[in-house]
Structure 1
Amino acid sequence: MDEHIRIGDVAPRVQYLADGVQISFTYPFPIFTETDLEVRLDGLLQASGYLVSGAGQSSGGSVEFLQPPASGIRVTLRRNLVVARTTDFQENGILRARTLNDELDYQVAALQEVKEEIGSALRLDPSELGGSTTLPLRGARTNKLLGFDSIGDITVFDRGEGTISLPFPGAVPRTVEDKMAERLSARDFGATGDGVTDDTTALQTAMNAAAASGKHLEIGEGSFRTTLPLVLPGAAAGLTMRGAILYAGAGGVAALTLGDGGTTRNAVKLYQGLRVLRATLSDWLDESDIGIVIRNQDSSLVELRQVEGFTIGLRTLGDGRGFEDSTVILGRIVNNAIGLDIHTATATGWNTSVRYHGGHFAAGSTVNTDKDRYGIRLSAAPGAYVAHNRHVFYGPAFELQARNRPISGIPFLSEVSSRSIIVSAMRMEGCSDYVARHTGAAQDHVYEVAWASQGYAVGIDYTGTATRVGSVVRALHQAAGHRAATREIVAVPNLRAAAFHWSKTEIGFDRLACLSTNVSGTPTHLAHFAFPALEDYTLTDRGLLLTGGRGIGFVVDARVCKEFALAVDADDPRLVVQCFDASMNLLTNAGGELVRASGMSMQWSAAPRWWQGSADLKDADLTRLQVVRLADAVAYAIIGVARIGTDYEVRALRLACDPAHAPAALWGLPDLPFGRRELSAEVAWDAPSVAAGASAQVNVPLVGARPGDFAAASFSLATSGMVFLAQVAAADIVSVTAWNRSTQPIDLNPGIVRARVVKS
C-alpha cells in the first residue's frame, strides 16, 4: 500500500436496489484485501461474477459485476474481516510505526463490524442489570412458545397455555391461539396468491371456517387463482380483500357468492375491497356468468373495488328474502355486459332502499363490439317481486363505447316496476343518446346528468312494452343555469303564428323586437335599435328564415335581474345581446366586459353595436342552452339571435330567469312600439248633426297604421241608430265614418272616438 489506510467512522455495510442496467456499485468504507468484502444479492452470498477494486484505500472502492443484477435485486456490500492474528512482534526487535498502525487499524475495523452486528441484535436496555437471557436447551424448547416469565427472564410455554396481552392498562391475557383466531386469513389455510396455483380449495376451506366460527375472513395481497365458484356463507362476519380473485373456471356460474339465500337475513355484514377478475373475457351470452353475487343483505356495508370481464359484474339479489337498507360503494366495473344487476329471484324476495356511491362503468373499445351493454339494470326473474323502489345513486360514471355504433350503450335499464330511483351527478361518455331504457312500469325516476359527451340530446327510451312514463332527466352539462331559471319571462312558442305584416314589405313579430346588423345614422337609444318591423324577413311554413343581416330579440328590464336563460328552437342560431344604461342609452365595449355566457365567450361587434356569441348554438358543440349574465352597468338589454354568416330557420324562443326575480319584458309601449300587432288611438269629437242616411267623418292619427290593416272604431257614448266604420285612409291615419242608418237626424253629444287596427 502506497499510503497508510485510515479507518473513519463509517458503517461497514452498504445496500443498493438494482435497476437491471447498473453494473458498478461503490462501497464507502476501507478494506485491506479484496477477500475482506462480502457481496450478496437478495441475501445470497456471491462467490464469483464480480471484480473488487479499491482495496487498501481509505475512501473505499467499487464492485463491478460481469452482468448487471436484475431489476429489483437488493445488492449488499459488507466488510467481513477474518478475526485472527497472523503476525507477531519480536523480542527486542524494531517496532515500526507502519506495522503497529496496520495492527491497530485492523482491530478498529473488526470492532466496527462487531458494533454493526450488535446493533441489529436483541439485547437488554442499558438501564437493566442482571436477568437470564439464555435460551433453554433444545429439548426443553421443542414445540414450545418462547416468552418471558413474571420477572422478565426468557422462558418457554406450552402452546395451549401461553398467553399474551396488549401493553395497555386493563388488557386481559389471552392465549396465542385465541389471538391468532381473532381474524382468519386465507393464507392460514394454504392459499398462495401467486396467480398460478389453484387456490380454490384453500379459499373455500377458509370461507367455511369463517362461517363456522362467525369470524371475519381476510384475503391478503396477491392474485388468488380459482377454478370453481366460491361461497362465503352468511354466518361469516364479513370479508376483506386486499388482493384479487382470478376466476379461471367454466362459465355460467357466479365466481363469488356472499351471504345465504332463502329466508335467511344477512344483516350488518361488512364486505370490503371486493375484487374479482375473469381470466378470459366472457362472450356476454350467458347471464349466469357473474362475477359477484351478494344475497339478502340488510343494513350492511359493501365496498367493491373491481369486477371485470363477466356477463354480469355485480348482482345484488333478493332471494327468498330482501336486499335492503344497505350502502354499496362501487369502484371499477369494466368489460361486463351489465355492470350492476339489481335483481330479485322470488316473489318474496325484494330489492329496495339501497344507497350506491360512485362506480366507473366502462367497456373497452374493442370488447364485444356487436353487443349491447348497460351500466345498471333493475331486473327480476319470471314471477319474482318487481317493485324495486327508492334506490339512490351518487356520482356514477359511464363510458360504454356505443356512440355512433349500431348497438345500445345505456347507463340504466329498468325492466321492472321500479319507483323513485334517484341518480345524482352522473357522467356519460360515449354512450347512446339515452340516460335510461324503460321496458316495464318504471316511474318517478330522476336522472341528473352532470356531464354528457352527447350534449343535451339525452332522454329516456320507453320501449313498446313500457306501461308507465313520467320520469325526469335533468341534463346539467353547461346548462345548470337553465335548470334553475324556472320563471318564464316571455315566450314566443310559434314564431310563424306570431308574424304579421307591418306594411306592404315589412314584417314584425308579437313580443319581439326586429334587429338589424347595420342600423343607419348614429343610433344611441334603445328605440333606435328595436324596430317594430323590417324588410328582408322570409317566412317559412314553420317559422322564420333569418337572412340578410336580420335578427330578432326580447327586450328586458335588467335593472335588478342580471341573469337570463335563452332557449331557441332554430337551426344553429347565433346569440346576440345589446346593452343599455338606465336612460336606455347604448353601452359599448368601452365599459368593459358587459356580457358573459355560460357555454361560450361573447365578442363585441362594432357594426351592429352588440355582443355576439363566438360560436353557433349547437347540441354537437354543447352550446345549445345559454345563460346570459349582464354587468351591473346594464339596465336594459336586447337578448336574441341574428343571422351571422349563414341563413337559418327560427321556430320558437323562450326567455327565463331565476324565480327570485320577475323582470318585465318590454314591448308595445308608447316609447317602444315594437312587438305588437294591435294598435289603438283615440280623439275627442263633437260630431255635427247627421241627417237620416247621411254620414260624418273624423280622422284619428294612429302611428303604425298602414293600408291593408284590419280597422275598427267605436264611440264613448250611446249611438243608437249611428254606426261607426273605420278604415286606414293613409299611413298613420285611420278614417272613422259615423253613418246614420235611421230615418231621423241624429246629433251626438261630444265624446271620444276610438280607433283600432290589427296587423295580419
Structure 2
Amino acid sequence: MAEHIRIGDVAPRVHYAADGAQTVFIFPFPIFKPADIEIRIDGLLFAGGFAVQGAGASEGGSVIFAQPPQAGALVALRRRMVIARTTDFQPNGMLRANTLNDDLDRQVAAMQEFRDETGSMLRANPGEAPTGLMLPDRPARANRVLGFDSLGNVTAFAREEGTLRVPFTGAIPRTIADKMGEVLSARDFGAVGDGVTDDGPALQAAMNAAAAAAKHLVIGEGSYRTAMPLLLPGAASGLTMRGVIVYAGPDGRTALTLGDGYAVRNANKLYDGLRVKRAMLSSWLNEADIGIELRNLDASTVEIRQAEGFTIGIRTTGVERGFEDSTLHLGRIVDNRFGLDVRTATAAAWNNSIRYIGGHFACSSATHPTMDRFGVRFSAAPGAYPRHNAHLFMGPGFELQRQGTPATVAAIPFLLEAGDERGIVARGMRMEQCSTFVAAHNGGANDCVYEVAYTGTYAFTGNAILYGPNATRAGGTVVPLHQAAAAHGTPRLVAAAENVRARAFRQTIDTAGGVGFEQMAVLSGNPAGPPGNLSGFAFAGLTQFGLNADSVGLPTSRALSFVVDCGECKEFFIAAEGSELRPVVMQFDANEAVLDSMSPVLLSNMNTVWAGTPSFFWEGNADLDSLVGGLAINKLQRVTLHANARFAAIGVRGGSATAVLKALRLFCPPLYAPTLLYGGSRKWGVREYTTSDAGWVVPALAAGASTSRDVAMPGIRQGDFVQASFAKTAGFQNGGVVFHAAVGGSAGSDQVRVTAQNHSGGSITVDAGTLFVRATKPRI
C-alpha cells in the first residue's frame, strides 16, 4: 500500500533568477497534482511550455521548461491549490486511513498557502493591545485619504483636513493637499506613458497647471506618445523627466518648447532629464522640425539626455531677450541634421556665455546618407543679432558618418554661419567618421579654438577649418592633440634653412675638401679624440656629404644642426623635410663642456636613444618620416632638453646611407627668443670673413712701384675670394693706386696679402690709412 504525502514545514514558494540556459527548476514542497503548481516569470503568470514532475512526492519535484527563461528573469514557483472538498465519508462506512490522511494533508497544505499570503499583509504588532483597524464605510472613505487618528486607528481624512509632519526637528504640520501639490506629476492629469495612448492633452494640461501654480512638473517613467506639440511656459519653475516624449504630431513643429518668449525672462530654471524622440525620422528638409527648443534662458541648468530623429535636435533661442549664463549637460543627440542650433531670433536678442558639458552628436550610417549634417550650428534669423560669444564646450563627441572615404557628404562638428561669432571654444573633442574639417566658418568669426583630443579617422592631419566663400577672417585655431599633443603650440621660429642645398659652401678649416653650411654646424658621429667641448664637436665643415641638385645626402655618420643658447628655453620643436632623417641632439653646460648620458633629452612622439661615445648624440629611435600605425606622427617632434644644458646642437643625421635633407627648421614657445650661435667667435656657419688694419702707412710710390702688407684672417684658405680697400680721413689722389688681395703670405693659410701698386705715370704718396679686407668661401 502506497504511503501518503507527508506535508513538512516547508514554505510553499521558491524563487530563482534565470541565467538564460537553465531549464529545470526544483520546488522543495509537495504538490498533489501538476495543476497545483503556479509559475510566474517577472511577476506574470506563465501558462504553458513546461512539464511538471514529482506530483504526489513528499520531497517535491521539478518544473522543466521547453525553452529556458531569458537571462535575468525572475522565476517564482508556488503551490496554488483549488480550495474545495473533494471527498465525503459515508455514515457507518469504513473510515480508511489513506483517505483521512489525504484530506488532512490538503488542509495543512491550504493553511500553509494562507500563512504564506498573509505574511506579506499589513497587520498590527502582536504585542499591541487590540485596536480598531477596520476600514471606514465606503461612503465615508470615498474621495478621501486613508490615514490613522491620534490613537492609531484607521480613519479617512479630507485632503484639506489631514496634516502631516516630517520626522525631523523643527518640522511643522502641513495639510495633505499642500504636501501632495508640492510637485505636480503628469500622471495627476491622466498621462499614461504606455507608448500607445495619446498623452498629449494630459501632458499639456499638466504643463499649464505647473505654469499657473509656478510649480515644478515631473513626468515619470514611461513612454509618452503625443500627437500635438507641447509647451511648458516660463512661469513653471522647472521640469524633471524620467520617461521619454515620443512625438507623433505634424511635421514642421517643435515637439517640446520650454519658455514662451515674448520678452519674458526665463531665469533660474532647472530642466532635468529631458528626452524627446520622433516617432518617425524627420525628412531633414524642414528646419521648423525641432525636438526641444529652449527660449530666453538665463542663469539656469539644463540636462538633455536624448533628442533624436529631428531636423534640429535642440535649439537654444534668444527671442525678445537673451539666452545667457546657463549650463547645458548634453547626452545622446542622435540622427538630427543639426544636433544643436544656437540661434537668435530678433535684433534685440543675444545668445552668449553658455557652458556645454558632454554630448554625443551622432548619425547612423543609414540616416539620409546623401545629406550634409552638422553637430553644432551657430545661426541667426534674417536681421537678428549675429554676435554669439563665449560658448564653451567640454568634451563633446562627434560621430556624424561622413559616408565614405573621401567623404561624400559634409559631416562637420561645428558650423558658424551667424556671421560674427566670438570665443567659440571646444576642449577635448572626439571625432569619429567626420569630415576632415573640425569647423566651417562662413562669416567673420574670430577667437575660436577647437582642441581635438581624438580623431578616429584622419588623425591630426585631418583637423582644419573650412572657410566658406563669405568668410572675412581666418579666425579659428585648431589644436590637434591626438597622438601628438606635445608637438603643438610651438610657434616662434628660431632658425630656418629653407633650402639646405643652397647653403652649402667649400669650408676647409677642419678638413681638406670639407663642406660647410651657412648658419649651421656640422656634427660627426665618430670624431677623433673625442673632443670635450662645443668648439671641438661643432665642425665648420666635413666631408662625405652628397650634394645633389636640390638636396643634401646625409650619411649616418654626419649631422647638420642649429646651435642655440638654451639657458632659458629648454623646449624646441624640430621640423625637417627629406627622407630617412634621424633627429639628433647634443648638450653642453655653461662652460661649453659636453654633457653625457646623465642629462637625458626627451622627444614628444618617439623614444630617445643614447648613442654613447665618441658622438655623444641623443637621437630618436626612428626616422622622422617613418609611420606609426599608418600615421606620420614622427614628423611632429618636440625636443625637451635637460636642465643642465646651457647650449645645444639640434638637428638631424642620416638614418640610412640613402638619407637626404631638403629643409630644416627650429621653433620654440613664443615666450622665448633664444640666440642662434654661428660665426663671430664661432668657427661654423659663415661664408664671409672681414677684418681691418688701421696701422698701414703706405709709402710714396714711384710710377709702377708697389708695396705689400700681410693681414691675419683666421679660417681663410686657398681658393677663397678676397678683396681689399683702403681709406684715409683726408683722402688722397688714388687714381693710379690699385689694392690687390690674395690668400697667403709669409704664413700661408689664415693670412691675406694685400698689395698696393701705382699704375700711374708719376709718383703718388698714400701715407697712413685703414685697410679693409673681405674673404668669401665659394659655394659649391
Instruction: Give 2:583's aligned residue.
Output: 576
What are the superposed Cα offsets for residues 436-468 of structure 1, whole Å, 9 maximum, x if unpaired? Answer: 222222223233333444415533333332233
Secondary structure class of the residue paired with 2:460: coil
Query: What is residue 119 of structure 1 aligned with on the other side?
Result: 119
Q: Which residue of 1 aligns with 2:683?
A: 673
Correspondences of 1:270-419 after superposition (within 5 Å)? 270-402=270-402, 404-415=406-417, 416-419=419-422
Letter in 2 for 1:600: M
1:162-181, Cα deviation, whole Å (9 max, x unpaired): 44332334434444443333
1:218-617 equivalence runs, <5 A: 218-402=218-402, 404-415=406-417, 416-452=419-455, 453-456=458-461, 458-483=463-488, 485=490, 490-492=494-496, 494-495=498-499, 499-503=503-507, 507-515=515-523, 519=526, 523=530, 530-533=538-541, 534=543, 536-538=545-547, 544-546=551-553, 549=556, 551-556=559-564, 563-568=570-575, 570-571=577-578, 574-579=581-586, 582=589, 591=597, 594-603=600-609, 611-617=619-625
> Could you say if the C-alpha distance between residues 716 and 110 of structure 1 is closer, same or farther in structure 2, counting changes exceeding 3 Å?
farther
Task: Please tell me the residue identity of whatever aligns with 2:668.
Answer: A
Q: 1:7 to 1:509 in 2, by over 3 A?
A: farther
Aligned to 1:623, what secondary structure does the other structure show? helix
C-alpha contact (below 8 Å) 2:501/2:552 kept by paired residues:
no
- Contact 1:493–1:654 (CA under 8 A) maintained in structure 2: no
Q: Residue 742 of structure 2 is aligned with which of 727, 731, 737?
A: 727
Mark the CA change 1:546 to 1:182 in structure 2 (over 3 Å): closer, same or farther: farther
Q: Counterpart amino acid of 1:148?
A: F
Structure 1 657/261 Cα, relative in aligned 2: closer, same or farther at 3 Å?
Answer: closer
1:278 is matched by which residue type in structure 2? R
Whether contact under 8 Å (2:576, 2:635) holds in the other structure is no
Distance in 1 separating the partners of 2:63 and 2:216 = 50
Against the structure 1 CA distance between its residues 217 and 432, is the aligned structure 2 distance closer, same or farther, given a 3 Å change threshold? same
Structure 1 residues 115, 681: closer, same or farther in 2, change over 3 A? farther
Deviations 1:606-630 (A, max 9, x none): 8986523424348943333211234
Judged with a 3 Å threshold, the aligned counterparts in structure 2 of structure 1 residues 49 and 573 are, in CA distance, closer, same or farther, namely closer
Aligned to 1:92: none
| Cα deviation 1:92-150 (Å, max 9, x = unaligned) | xxxx9x99999999998777656544431212235532322222344544444321111
The question of whether the paired residues in 2 share the 8 Å contact of 1:234 and 1:258 is answered with yes
Structure 1 Cα separation of the partners of residues 114 and 268 of structure 2 = 56
CA distance 1:221–1:716, shift in 2 (3 Å): farther
CA distance in 1, matches of 2:176, 2:196: 32
Structure 1 residues 115, 727: CA separation in 2 closer, same or farther (over 3 Å shift)?
Answer: farther
Q: 1:681·1:702 contact (CA, 8 Å) conserved in 2? A: yes
Contact 1:573 1:641 (8 Å CA) reproduced: no
d(CA) in 2 for partners of 1:280 and 1:535?
72
State the shift of 1:25 in Å.
Answer: 1.0
Deviation at 1:43, TM superposition (A): 5.1
> Normalising to structure 2: TM-score of the pair?
0.81
Provide the residue aligned with 1:91 in structure 2. none
* Stretch of structure 1 that moved more, 33-42 or 337-346: 33-42
The aligned residue for residue 707 of structure 2 is 696
Moved more, 104-113 or 703-712: 104-113
CA separation of 1:273/1:47 partners in 2, compared to 1, >3 Å: closer, same or farther?
A: closer
- Aligned partners of 2:722 and 2:773 also within 8 Å: no
- Report the Cα distance in structure 2 between the residues aligned to 1:681 and 1:9, rounded to whole angstroms: 118
Q: Which residue of structure 2 lines up, in the alignment, with residue 189 of structure 1?
A: 189
Distance 1:55 1:30 in 2: 7
> Displacement, 1:380?
0.9
After TM superposition, give the deviation of residue 234 of structure 1 in Å: 1.8
Q: Which residue of 1 aligns with 2:93?
A: none
Give the whole-Å Cα distance in 1 for the aligned partners of 2:332 and 2:208.
Answer: 28
Amino acid at match of 1:532: A
Give the deviation of 1:301 after TM superposition: 1.4
- State the aligned residue count: 747
Structure 1: runs of 5 or more not aligned: 89-95
Counterparts of 1:538 and 1:611, CA distance in 2: 24
Deviations 1:262-311 (A, max 9, x none): 22221222111122222333333222222221111122211111212222
Q: Distance in 2 between matches of 1:732 and 1:423?
A: 64
In structure 1, the residue matched to 2:92 is: none
Q: Output one character per residue of 1:210-257: Cα deviation in whole Å (capped at 9) or x when no partner.
A: 223322222222332233322222222222222222223343222222
- Give the conservation status (yes or no) of the 8 Å contact 1:346–1:384: yes
Helix, strand or coil: the match of 2:188?
helix
Return the alpha-carbon distance in structure 2 between the equivalents of residues 45 and 222 of structure 1. Answer: 23
Alpha-carbon distance in 1 for matches of 2:547, 2:365: 47
Identity of aligned residues (%): 47
- Shift of the alpha carbon at 1:202? 2.7
List aligned pairs for 1:161-172, cutoff 5 A.
161-172=161-172
Name which of 660, 667, 681 aligns with 1:655. Answer: 667
Q: Name the amino acid aligned to 1:409.
A: A
Q: State the partner residue of 2:650.
A: 639
Quote the offset at 1:53 in angstroms.
3.8
Consecutive unaligned residues of structure 2, counting only runs of 5 or more, are 90-96
Moved more, 355-364 or 633-642: 633-642
**Residue pair 1:340, 1:377 contacting (<8 A) in 2 also:** yes
Moved more, 735-744 or 260-269: 735-744
Deviation of the 1:196 alpha carbon = 3.3
> Whole-Å Cα distance in 2 between the matches of residues 183 and 42 of structure 1?
31
Q: Distance in 2 between matches of 1:545 and 1:279?
A: 66
Q: TM-score, normalised by structure 1?
A: 0.83
Structure 1 position 328, deviation (Å):
1.5
Instruction: For 1:198-213, list aligned pairs within 5 A.
Output: 198-213=198-213
